């Protein structure tokens, strides 16, 4: 992955934008997965975010915490703890 400067701060309405992508009732569980993903090293976090972005592009269906958990597992090396 090429080194790129940060895109800048998150928009003020980032949480609202993210909430619109999630399935109803999934906010708390999704937040837990996203918080866990934030603890990944840069390379693995980038993999998680790439998977997330690909999913958003592929389907307008709401995203579930289960999907996010799967993306998180796929972003980790084999045998790493999934919490």
Q: What percent of the chain is predicted at pLDDT more than 90?
A: 71
Whether pLDDT at 1 is above 50: no
35-70: pLDDT as tens digits: 999 999 999 999 999 999 999 999 999 999 999 999
Give the predicted TM-score (pTM) of the model: 0.78
For the chain, the average pLDDT equals 87
| Residue listed under structure tokens 């592929």 | 58
User: Hey, where are the domains in the chain?
Assistant: 25-74
Of 4-13, 41-50, 58-67, 71-80, give the lowest mean pLDDT range. 4-13
């Amino acid at each position: 992955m090429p080194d790129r400067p940060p895109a800048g701060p998150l928009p003020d309405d980032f949480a609202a934008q993210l909430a619109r992508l999630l399935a109803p009732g999934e906010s708390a569980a999704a937040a837990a997965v996203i918080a866990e993903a934030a603890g990944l090293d840069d390379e693995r976090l980038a993999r998680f975010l790439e998977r997330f972005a690909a999913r958003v592009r592929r389907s307008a269906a709401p995203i579930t915490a289960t999907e996010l958990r799967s993306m998180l597992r796929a972003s980790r090396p084999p045998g790493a703890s999934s919490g």
